[in-house]
Structure 1
Amino acid sequence: MSVRFIGNQARWVFSRESNGKRRTEKGRILIFHTIRNPYAVGKKMGASSSTQQAGSSEQREAESLAASVGALPMLQNSFAKLADPQTSAIPLESLQKCFGVSYETPDFESTEAPDPSSFLGVLNHLGKSLVDEFFLAEKEGISWIEFVKGYVKCCGRMTASMSLNVLMRLFATTLARSGSPSKLEFESMDDGGYKISGYLLPADVLVLLWMSWAILWDSKTSNGKERTLFLPDVSHLALSAVVSCCDGLDGVDFWVCDLAGLEVQLPAGKFLAWALATAPSLTDCLTQFINSRLQNGVSSGDESAQGTSIPGGSVLSSARSSYLLTCGRAWAISLSLRSAISVEILKPYFPSDGDQSDEHVLYRSSVHGKGLNRFWSNVEGYHGPLLILVSATSGDTHGDNSTAKKWTIGALTQQGLENKESFYGTSATLYAICPVFHVFPPSGKEKNFVYSHLHHARGYDPHPKPAGIGFGGSMGNERLYIDEDFARVTVRHHAVDKTYQNGPLFPNQGFLQVEALISEVEVWGLGGEAARSVQTSYKKREELFTEQRRKVDLKTFSNWEDSPEKMMMDMMGDPNRVRREDR
């Protein structure tokens, strides 16, 4: 690829004879470059015009911004594949197809899934909306400089609030193209950002979350044969936004709440604040989608850009709905994190990763049995992040079932559990997961993150420490405490806790402590292959020690007179009697 100047105009020239050599032609310089440098600019002999200098400066700035996020080589290769050799620009239709997403009827994680036709109609307009919103097309198509500038607008280095504004603009444009204009308004700012006003409806929040998941799913499965769209249950995440942004919800029953039927408005400012606090990684879905499509080099003639439904293709994800950590709950937790844990927690739910959920699940009370001893035998030796989930039922569980409420809470520790008689840990996070999702990160005031104590037969202890697992609060007054038998979980008001941020762990918690019946406990190891290998080695070593302790040298105790049993019986009979050792 090279650049040829004709008069004052530069024109891209594709040549198979490009070998880096320079030739002159009637006073002009013709520079040939390899295909690896499609953005190179040739120069006329002598001084260049101010317009060319301004263009070069603008191009260098855009390339510098793309290089700062490590995307410049990828953009060069993508432009070389997508650009038309005749016009030296990407045809508008080609880039729209490159980012196009189209699926047939998807599979839902929830058994009470709504009609997906409206959502799929929105998703079909995503590619055109993305190109029209961020890429400036000229007469012959999208030039190299506009291609780079458009990428920087979407995926460049920017603040979290600006990234969220980009996602909201794309959502509003896509919604409008589908015939359902949103109530959001955008006002340009001096710094290049946008001020968002207006409001969203609960149904809009659900569509936004599903759209973000769909492009994340596409980026994770585009390299494989899995083209079925699996939509998780994100009602708990959407309800979190509704509760945080709206007032007057005291009479709403969140266990049987219909999101589409809620006639409330979520102000744009409050929704953005909720998203930044609860789901800061939501904008990463768009970045991963764009990078995945450009890295795959999808051209206008590549049919893999369009999703096709394969019956039963999402069995891998739907089969895991029996776990407490469903796909939707795992994604909600991952959105609250900005670390490697957010990737590890979603691995079992993407077919392309080829990971099995059983490798991540360390303990399930319904499989391994209830109780702290059984729990400890499965998690001991695991030195990595742990996600502990508890499903419980509170209210009148013996009388009227209508008053009994089932909820799920969780705790994410940054390290493995230890058998201690005091609180320990460097960091942890509490989660209200179902029916309403909330995140309670450390407050920074205290460090009573984790308490886990298992009784050992070490003799008489007049003041034994309680056996169980606790989070926050103080000894005997924990914010969350699981008893030794895994029969009950105690939840106290956040006023007793200075370790984690304030908030209820389930709706209508109240000020009094709540004791609920535990129905299931799960522990997921999120330390990756390294942590699993360390635990496997630890278990093998413990089994070896146990086997060695079981072996007894019978030759040593062949005579009753020399046996330790006789010695103990004699001491119990008269411990003060003087004994002479027989030689």
Structure 2
Amino acid sequence: MGASTSSEPKLSPEQQEAENVASTTGALPILQKAFSKFANSETNAIPLENLQKCFSFVREGRSYTTENVNDSFPVLLDQLGSSLVDQFFISDKGGINWVEFVKGYNKCCSRVSASIFLNKFIRVFIDVAKKANLSLNLEFETDDVDCKVNGYLLPNHVFLLLSICWAMSWDCRNLKGKGNLSVPDLSHLVLSAVTSCVDDKDGFDVWDCEVLSLEVEIPVGKFVTWVISTVPCLPDCLTQYFHTRLQIAVAEGDESASSDSSSVGEISSTTACDSILTQGRAWAISITQRSTINEEISRAFINSGAGIDENLIYRSSTHGRGLNRFWSHVEGYHGPLLILIAASSGNDHEGNSAIRKFVLGALTNEGLENKDIFYGTAGCLYSLSPVFHVFPPSGKEKNFVYSHLHPTGRGYQSHPAPVGVAFGGSAGNERIFIDEDFSKVIIRHHAVDKTYQSGALFPDQGFLPTEALISEVEVWGLGGKAAKDVQNKYKKREELFTDQRRKIDLKTFANWEDSPEKMMMDMMSDPNAARREER
């Protein structure tokens, strides 16, 4: 194996280079343990079937729920293990030797450009589809890692590709291997790819269409561009799956290691349906972020299925509507916040009065403050339904967040600052503005906003401001346990101060002569009487 000692011959340049690359990712110790476990002692090589079993999605105690996908999805997952081995490892007659094992890991998990890694992932998808007898119109020009891929994808193919990525993400959170895999609704992501990559959209209405049955062709070149610009962390699902499977293989049989692994049973979708932030929307947001936010969303939604209660800070239907109720729950939270708005608007254009429902989101990197000016250091806007889009910072301005309550202790103001919550734009021309009653939201054209990148926040958004009725507002805390503990301490401190202010010294008002009631009655009976204040 590659674990050399003083008695072993000098390492070959090929082996040394492979091990150096693996060392940069910190995976060399795991690879050494995995090779020792899988390798045949006689040939000092890993049999193909051992490695295929390691990367196979099929495991004892695992089942699939295929309500949201067609019958080909389980067949694709059955072929995942063999396709990964075929794509990344080179085998000789005895199996896969140590050098090829390390080089195979480096092919999948070493640091490369996003486009090259996406090419690798598409190769795996093509190979899985071929083994599952699924017809695809995709072909690479050469075997080079950075060569161009030609052809197109159908919306159903995009959904299957996204579903495989979801399955790999779910598997990484379910280390014990059991559970019922249920693919969430990913139609908003598929529609995003379709609307971004297809020029002719006259054949369907994004507000009301069965996206998986569409026959529009999505050029694979444009699809690659869409992935890199919209969901850049999507191919990372493959790296995480690859690395996690090796970790599981090394830890198998170790009681202490397996007892600490995260595991979920059958995923329930009951609670998820009651929340704006469904599993599919949460996962879509997570694969746009390369930060701790990604891990926190995955922990709360991919692992548990419906979000962890401790992450939910505010929900208007539960905690009450209005800015004051909202503020009483978000105040003191110093961490990333995800604010979601479910709204509906009527379109009376050309006699069409259909109610159109949509969901918007805003991600802030820190908590909210009561200010009459914009503030913040970073953030993103999201269109979550019916079409998914992300609007990261443009770098031109820093009007990320505006959150202002009624001023206290101030006199008359000729031009008072607006009361509400807003994102982007400027005072009076906010890109998203939620009124203080949480009854209406105003969405303006991106021309008024230089903080976030341009684009429509919902389909067919015009140049004029759109006023929509709010049906629900949610706030999810993504700062982890530390941010929640700080907020709890803040709330306890505020409650203590409030109780102290409410306390009355009963001895001061024990007799009638000193009571405020007598003073008021004396003033009403003879308001002109001269009185001297005792000091």
TM-score w.r.t. the length of structure 2 is 0.91
Pick closer, same or farther for the CA change 1:437–1:221 going to 2, 3 Å. same
CA offsets per residue over residues 512-561 of structure 1, 9 Å max, x none? Answer: 11111110100000000000000000111111111111110021233455
**C-alpha contact 1:473 1:498 (8 A) present in aligned 2:** yes
CA offsets per residue over residues 298-318 of structure 1, 9 Å max, x none? Answer: 79999xxxxxxxxx9433455
Whole-angstrom distance in 2 between the partners of 1:186 and 1:354:
37
Helix, strand or coil for the counterpart of 2:207?
helix
Greater Cα offset, 145-154 or 571-580: 571-580
Of 115, 119, 136, the residue aligned with 1:161 is 115
Partner of 2:20: 64
Matched, 1:83 2:39: yes
- What does 1:261-280 correspond to in 2, within 5 Å? 261-280=213-232
Whole-angstrom distance in 1 between the partners of 2:430 and 2:501:
38
CA RMSD of aligned residues (A): 2.9
Partner of 1:306: none
Whole-angstrom distance in 2 between the partners of 1:40 and 1:169:
38
What's the CA shift for 1:181? 3.6
Matched, 1:217 2:170: yes
Greater Cα offset, 246-255 or 443-452: 246-255
Pick closer, same or farther for the CA change 1:197–1:574 going to 2, 3 Å. farther
Whole-angstrom distance in 1 between the partners of 2:337 and 2:251:
42
Matched, 1:135 2:89: yes
Whole-angstrom distance in 1 between the partners of 2:525 and 2:137:
90
Paired letter, 2:397: E
TM-score w.r.t. the length of structure 1 is 0.84
CA offsets per residue over residues 105-159 of structure 1, 9 Å max, x none? Answer: 6236xxx7343x2111111111111111110000100000000001100111211
Whole-angstrom distance in 2 between the partners of 1:95 and 1:242:
36
Greater Cα offset, 333-342 or 94-103: 94-103
CA offsets per residue over residues 190-212 of structure 1, 9 Å max, x none? Answer: 7x533222221111110110011
Pick closer, same or farther for the CA change 1:298–1:229 going to 2, 3 Å. farther
Whole-angstrom distance in 1 between the partners of 2:104 and 2:494:
57
Paired letter, 2:137: K
Pick closer, same or farther for the CA change 1:521–1:355 going to 2, 3 Å. closer
Runs (5+) with no aligned partner, structure 2: 255-263
What's the CA shift for 1:564? 5.4
Of 128, 132, 149, the residue aligned with 2:103 is 149
Partner of 1:488: 440
What's the CA shift for 1:43? 5.1
Whole-angstrom distance in 2 between the partners of 1:169 and 1:567:
88
Partner of 1:370: 321
- What does 1:172-321 correspond to in 2, within 5 Å? 172-188=126-142, 192-223=145-176, 226-250=178-202, 252-297=204-249, 313-316=265-268, 318-321=270-273
Whole-angstrom distance in 1 between the partners of 2:393 and 2:522:
59
Q: Which of these two proteins has the greater Rg computed from alpha carbons? A: 1
Runs (5+) with no aligned partner, structure 1: 1-11, 13-36, 45-52, 303-311
**C-alpha contact 1:203 1:260 (8 A) present in aligned 2:** yes
**C-alpha contact 1:134 1:154 (8 A) present in aligned 2:** yes
Of 93, 100, 106, the residue aligned with 2:56 is 100
Paired letter, 1:268: V
What's the CA shift for 1:497? 0.8
Whole-angstrom distance in 1 between the partners of 2:284 and 2:505:
57
**C-alpha contact 2:271 2:306 (8 A) present in aligned 1:** no
Pick closer, same or farther for the CA change 1:212–1:497 going to 2, 3 Å. same
What's the CA shift for 1:283? 1.4
**C-alpha contact 1:95 1:300 (8 A) present in aligned 2:** no
Whole-angstrom distance in 1 between the partners of 2:438 and 2:118:
41
CA offsets per residue over residues 144-194 of structure 1, 9 Å max, x none? Answer: 00000011001112111111111111111111111124222223487x533
Whole-angstrom distance in 1 between the partners of 2:464 and 2:487:
40
Greater Cα offset, 265-274 or 406-415: 265-274
Paired letter, 1:121: V
Whole-angstrom distance in 2 between the partners of 1:354 and 1:257:
26
Aligned length: 522
What's the CA shift for 1:507? 0.6
**C-alpha contact 1:316 1:349 (8 A) present in aligned 2:** no
Pick closer, same or farther for the CA change 1:275–1:475 going to 2, 3 Å. same
Partner of 2:493: 541
Paired letter, 2:360: I
Whole-angstrom distance in 2 between the partners of 1:60 and 1:502:
48
Matched, 1:113 2:62: no
Greater Cα offset, 119-128 or 560-569: 560-569
Paired-residue identity, %: 57
Paired letter, 1:406: K
What's the CA shift for 1:577? 8.3
**C-alpha contact 2:283 2:302 (8 A) present in aligned 1:** no
**C-alpha contact 1:98 1:300 (8 A) present in aligned 2:** no
Partner of 2:510: 558
Pick closer, same or farther for the CA change 1:387–1:582 going to 2, 3 Å. closer
Of 363, 366, 382, the residue aligned with 1:415 is 366
- What does 1:33-48 correspond to in 2, within 5 Å? 38=3
